[in-house]
Amino acid sequence: MMILGKKIGMTQVYDNDGRIVPVTVIQAGPCTVMQVKTTETDGYEAVQMGIDNVKKSRQIKSQIGHASKANDVPKKFVREFRFEGSPGEYKQGDKVTVEVLAEAKHVDVVGTSKGKGYAGVMKRHGFGGFPGSHGTERKHRAGGSIGSHASDRGHGGNVKKGKRMSGHMGNVRVTSKNHALVSIDAEKNLLIVKGSVPGPAGGYVMVKESKV
Amino acid sequence: MKTEILDSVEQKSLKSKIPHFEIGDTVDVHCKIQEGNKTRTQIFTGTVIARKGRGINESFTVRRIVNDEGVERNFPLHSPFVVDIKPVRSGKTRRAKLYYLRQRSGKSVRLSERRSEHTSA
């Protein structure tokens, strides 16, 4: 079971034992099933959902045509889920609400992480850096050596592929798994999950029931 | 809009009724304590020296002197473990945070009493 949503933000609630639980609030659905992909027509099975309408002046013809097959208007956030469960469970044009997750205990959340820009190795990969004093000069946050003359066994000093260096950090798809689903508010379309989920408040996320 | 939604989520965990108490009050805090399977209520008496935070995050600090040693406890205001708060005596204060009491000992710790309706009962 899966749904699309929007991260609202984080807060705290008390659980039944009186303990405080940090939670993220996700406004999920109602989504529209834009398309159901099958092995015969598309080569794989998936269900494509969309959430939040595009406003009239920004709609383009190709989107309108695609959405009209589901009797709906173009959506801001459209994502596919590979099929899990029996085919025919979803039909084009169906509405999906948070109630599909009513029986879920844990969920996986997929989002786009916050962009950190060009980050050094300490922040990006957790390197230790160099001492603050004792003679260290101009390289307190440097990554150290990245190779030597002999590092490639006589073929010249190449830097090994995959060597962790500084570079762009964040703004990538991140899956965070097994969040306890604290509660569901069907009236306001809210999912309340334990812990933090990827991305900024207002960012779109995909929510799936966790595999046990 | 966003904060409205967050507020509505917090709302379920908030206590509907919080007894009125002020900074400088001497209060009895009834707190629930779990020992194995048994739960009992313990009373912590002291002076409220700070109250901070908003909404579900709100907490207050109670200070008392035990065996010439200052003891402070922070209570989350909306915690289910805090069963009741009973103001016993009002103290006259000119500050919202009474951290200066930490530097004092003996007689100078005392706050002069102020007549107030919520504690006179």
Phi/psi for A196 (5° steps) reads -95, 150
Asked if B9 and A14 come within 8 Å (Cβ–Cβ), the reply is no
Write down the residue that tokens 């150290």 correspond to. A144
> With a cut of 50, which residues of chain A have pLDDT below it?
none
Preferred mutation among B11, B13, B59 to probe A, highest tally of A CBs within 10 A: B13
Q: How confident is the model at residue A151, as a pLDDT? A: 57
Please tell me the CATH code under which domain B2-109 is placed.
2.30.30.790
Q: What is the pLDDT of residue A161?
A: 82
Residue B114 neighbours by CB distance under 10 Å: 14
**Number of separate domains in chain A:** 1
Inspect the interface and report whether the beta carbons of A13 and B81 lie closer than 8 Å: no
Q: Which residues 63-82 of A are in CB contact (within 8 Å) with B?
A: none
pLDDT at res. A111: 95
Predicted TM-score of the model (pTM):
0.84
Both tokens of residue A53? 């309408």
Name which of B13, B94, B96 is nearest B51 in CA terms.
B96
CB A107 within 8 A of CB A208: yes
Structure tokens at A120: 């050094």
Q: Which of A8, A185, A202 is closest, CB to CB, to B6?
A: A8
* The pLDDT of residue B121: 53
Residues in chain B within 8 Å Cβ distance of A28? none
CB pairs under 8 A between A and B: 44
Judge whether B82 and B76 are in contact, CB under 8 Å: yes
ipTM of the shown complex: 0.78
The answer to whether A114 and A199 are in contact (CB under 8 A) is: yes
d(CA A50, CA A36): 12
Q: Residue A63 is part of a domain; what is its CATH number?
A: 2.40.30.10
Q: Are strands A2-14 and A204-209 parallel, antiparallel or unpaired?
A: antiparallel
- Answer yes or no: do B2 and A201 touch at CB < 8 A: yes
**Residues in chain B with pLDDT < 50?**
none
Is A176 within a domain? yes
Cβ–Cβ under 8 Å, residues B72 and B49 = yes
Report if residue A138 sits inside a domain: no
Question: Per-domain residue ranges for chain B?
Answer: 2-109
Q: List the A46-53 sheet strands across, edge first.
A: A75-82, A46-53, A31-37, A95-96
Shortest distance between the Cα of B49 and any Cα of chain A, in A, equals 24
Contact B6 A192 (CB under 8 A): no
Give pLDDT, residue A155: 62
φ, ψ of residue A153 in degrees (nearest 5): 55, 60
User: Residue A47 in contact with residue A38, Cβ under 8 Å?
Assistant: no
User: For the sheet containing B38-52, what is the strand order?
Assistant: B69-76, B59-66, B38-52, B26-35, B82-89
Q: Which domain holds residue A205?
A: 2-116+169-209
